[in-house]
Amino acid sequence: MSDLLVSGGKVVNEGRSDELDLLVRKGRIERIAPGITPPSSSCEVIDASGKLILPGLIDDQVHFREPGLTHKACIKTESRAAVAGGVTTFFEMPNVSPPTLDMERLEEKCAVAARDSIANYAFFLGASNENLEAVKAADPARIAGIKIFMGSSTGNMLVDEEEILEKIFRFAPAPIATHCEHTPTILENERSAREKHGDEVPFSEHPVIRSREACLRSSSLAVELAGRENARLHVLHVTTAEELDLFQPGDERITAEACVHHLWFEESSYEKLGSLIKCNPAIKTPNDRSAIRQAVADGRISVLATDHAPHTLEEKQGTYFEAPAGLPLVQHSLPLMLEMTKQGSFSLETVVERACHAPARIFDVRERGFIREGYWADLVIVDPQKDTVVDDCELYSRCNWSPFQGTRFSHSIEATIVSGRVAFSGNKPRNGQTGMRVEFSAERR
């Protein structure tokens, strides 16, 4: 691995923005200072003048569909989409086929990622009503966390027995990440929608069916269980203003995530995009969107992520009850976040805190998520003067569509560096590159 010098850019890191150079050796940041000269003629130099240098994003919620669902996506294709979007590390979810319910299946996914992923990788162990012993036996240093579907969604991994839930919260050896929706409420709302519309339920009914009450009831239960059992809890994809009252800035034992599509779209978007933005939990009102943006700014929302969940366009073109929930997001998530800084929703430093630093702290990631001497060189170089026109982009997700088609963002990804190697530049992922397995602290309860 040759030395790498990134020079002349504005480094945005840990609440500061400074003109600094970065010298990378053996995959790690060796020196951070202004005016570094190349140590040898073989050192690769990237001129980042006029550009922003950020830590690589850590996306704590993606669905890359492997094994079993690879007609939609796979680790190879989706990791390429990730680095094209400035994401250097991903945590992948367990609702694949077969689901990731024990360490053996998790290690099988890691073996695929070691071969195929251009980004750094880690995987969640899934919880079910039947695998409590596997959860208790999980190695906390080798998993991103424990994922609990407290509401039914893609993959049929619902955990709905309260006694089992209590024990998972009591014994989980690593942070718990929850999908929070109350399934009985959803089923009752589905029944009402069928009575009103028959089988031709419009997609605008989705936030009525997957209602705010369903979200708040389940999220409240998760927070109550975490407090009672002294568990570390991360509530994924918060979508309602009411849920935000459950979280406090600075609390890193009970935390919340917001996803980019819930920050960008709102319920009127169903009229144009319909099934393409059907996701669980549902995109809701303009007031909810504004409240979540404010919570990102003030710290009640700790993490920004994607919930990247691709399906084929053919699958998405079904009726309301046929079309699966989820959409591809990872390739354009950072340009979208940066667009919201331009709109004044929150600062560039806040984006770095929520999308890079906080996931590393909350999930006990070792030596990533910050631009620090001795840390792995996971970096993204952003051009703030060059637009991203989504219709002109080659899409790297296997599903080959984007909900942002027709959109222009005011920043673009110039290059992505993964563990000291350039993984994306010149609008192309580099072939032959592989990421690394993420290392976590051993004590994570």
Q: What would the two tokens of residue 239 be?
A: 């979508």
Q: Which residues contact 101 (CB under 8 A, 6 or more apart)?
A: 94, 125, 126, 127, 128, 131, 134
Can you give 6-66 as a three-state secondary structure string?
A: EEEEEEEECCEEEEEEEEEECCEEEEEECCCCCCCCCCEEEECCCCEEEECEEEEEECCCC
288 assigned to active site: no
| Catalytic site residue from 21, 116, 288, 307 | 307
The SS3 of residue 140 is: helix
DSSP β-bridge partners for residue 163 = none
From CA 148, how far away is CA 307, in angstroms rounded? Answer: 15
Distance (Å) of CA 106 to CA 111, 112, 154, 349, 389: 9, 10, 19, 34, 37
Q: Which residues contact 379 (CB under 8 A, 6 or more apart)?
A: 6, 22, 53, 54, 55, 56, 88, 371, 416, 417
SS3 content of the chain, % helix, strand, coil (to 5): 35, 25, 45
The SS3 of residue 213 is: helix
Name which of 305, 280, 284 is nearest 145 in CA terms: 305
Which residue reads 């071969």 in tokens?
115
Active site residues: 307
